[in-house]
Amino acid sequence: MIAPALFALAVAGGPTCKTADPRIESLVAAYARKTNSVEYCQARLYHTIDDLDGDGREDFVLIFSLEMRDGNDSSQYLAVFPSARGWKPLVLKVGGRGERFVDQIDVEQHTLVLGTSEYTEDDAMCCPSGDGELRYRIEKGQLKLVPNPPDDDTIPATGPNGTKPRRAA
């Protein structure tokens, strides 16, 4: 006999990595159609606890991955749904096979920080071995790439008054 909870999951289609929000699912489906790709939704990353556009309300960030139907290629896209724009998404391609993959989403003072696995010269296509990050800010209604702050080892140990300098965000 099937347990009632398992039967309910089977009837309902079971758990899924997709959301109930049609704006998100429509966006991903549109990009998949446009690029003749299929989504690998298990690779989605979400972030919803920070304000990127400066309006005092949390915004929605999504990383989604698309794999080509004809071939062995994949791309990653960043979609930011800013509350100040009525949740109309800003979308950019941010990675792909042979370039980088986004592994993590953070926010530092209205700046979106994407932790990445970067391909180095000797890496096989399966396995990027380098670490990196991409930083974006919403400026004039668009996502703008901003420079990364210097590495900690390039910052002097102490400033002119003997205090440790702060990293810019």
Global pTM reads 0.79
Closest of 161, 113, 150 to residue 135, by C-alpha: 113
On whether residue 2 sits in a domain, the answer given is: no
Domain annotation covers residue 79:
yes
Position 12 scores a pLDDT of 57
> What is d(CA 161, CA 169) in angstroms, rounded to the nearest whole number?
22
- On whether residue 157 sits in a domain, the answer given is no
Domain assignment present for residue 78? The answer is yes
Domain count, the chain: 1
Residue 162's pLDDT is what?
A: 41
Q: In this predicted structure, what is the pLDDT of residue 70?
A: 81
Per run of 10 residues, the mean pLDDT along the chain (length 169 residues) is 42 72 94 94 91 93 93 92 93 95 95 96 92 96 91 48 37
The reply to whether 144 falls in a domain is yes
Q: Which domain holds residue 110?
A: 18-148
